[in-house]
Amino acid sequence: MSIHIAAKPGEIAEAILLPGDPLRAKFIAENFLENPALYTDVRNILGYTGTYKGRRVSVQGTGMGIPSISIYVNELFRDYGVKRAIRIGTAGSIREDIRLRDLVLAMSASTDSGANAVRFGGRHYAPTASFALLKTACEAALALGWAPKVGPVVSSDMFYTEDPEEWKLWAKFGCLALEMESAELYTLAAKYEREALCILTISDSLITHEQTTAEERQTTFTRMMEVALETAVS
Ligand code: HPA
């Protein structure tokens, strides 16, 4: 058992899906996995292991933001031997050609985070997805009939920024969407020599201020799940 995860050794699969919301982890376990078993509920961050197409897969919440995902992913890599971590989440579009409900595969994650500023002593690390997982997810999405948008995203430390137009600079330099976790996941995967990928659906637009409806979020979520699970067991 680690500090924030109550699993015994061997209870967590080598491949794990990481939604931010712990109730999403429960939903995925109950609707997509066979024989799911709860392995942790510390702080109501739920984690389950089951099988998908006969292969062991775990799913666990991470909470929102870099400090929270950092705690769980450090423990999953260091203490539980997780080899493949796939974050599934939502993001805000910062470009006109990235539309609501689009599926985005985060090739890299720029960040304004204090975490990497501290870790690298002011140097600028480039958090990058696993090419193997990225390729597999891209092919899985295309096979299911969905053309993903693949490119750089931004992992921001703040949802509510002082400058509401801050995102425009990132957009000018080619970033597709804003979210709050990928940079840390990719950095930790590199540190522990594991594989990581973030699969995102666009839930809102910072340009038009549109948001997806609850029903649309459910549909796009299911679609993202299929891509993530296919990638996890590949
Ligand atoms: N900003 C940061 N994270 C997000 C957003 C956003 O607009 N939408 C979904 N996750």
3-state secondary structure 91-143: EEECCCCCCCCCEEEEEEEEECCHHHHHHCCCCCCCCECCHHHHHHHHHHHHH
pLDDT of residue 72: 98
Ligand 1 contact via 90 beta carbon (within 6 Å): yes
Answer whether 0.75 is exceeded by the pTM: yes
Q: Please tell me the distance between residue 200's alpha carbon and the centre of ligand 1 in angstroms.
A: 11
Q: Is residue 2 part of a domain?
A: no
Q: Is residue 162 part of a domain?
A: yes
pLDDT of residue 217: 83
State which residues of the chain have pLDDT below 50.
Answer: none
In this structure, what token pair is assigned to residue 4? 């924030």
pLDDT of residue 190: 98
Q: Is residue 158 part of a domain?
A: yes
pLDDT of residue 216: 84
Strands (E), the chain: 15-19, 34-40, 47-52, 55-60, 84-93, 103-111, 149-155, 177-179, 195-205
Look-up of token digits 């609850």: 214
Task: Print the domain residue range for 190.
Answer: 15-232
Q: What is the residue with the minimal CA distance to atom 2 of ligand 1?
A: 179
Q: Please tell me the distance between residue 178's alpha carbon and the centre of ligand 1 in angstroms.
A: 5
| Known active-site residue 79 | no
pLDDT of residue 54: 97
Q: How far apart are CA 159 and CA 89, in angstroms?
A: 14
pLDDT of residue 14: 98
Among the options 21, 79, 112, 204, which is catalytic? Answer: 204
Tell me which amino acid residue 211 is. Q
pLDDT of residue 219: 84
Ligand 1 contact via 204 beta carbon (within 6 Å): yes
Q: Please give the tally of structural domains in the chain.
A: 1
Reported as a single tens digit per residue, the pLDDT across 162-219 is: 999 999 999 999 999 999 999 999 999 999 999 999 999 999 999 999 999 888 888 8
pLDDT of residue 220: 87
Ligand 1 contact via 178 beta carbon (within 6 Å): yes
Q: Please tell me the distance between residue 159's alpha carbon and the centre of ligand 1 in angstroms.
A: 6
Q: Is residue 94 part of a domain?
A: yes
Q: Is residue 228 part of a domain?
A: yes
Q: Is residue 9 part of a domain?
A: no
Q: What is the CATH number of the domain that holds 176?
A: 3.40.50.1580
Ligand 1 contact via 180 beta carbon (within 6 Å): yes
Q: Is residue 164 part of a domain?
A: yes
Q: Is residue 72 part of a domain?
A: yes
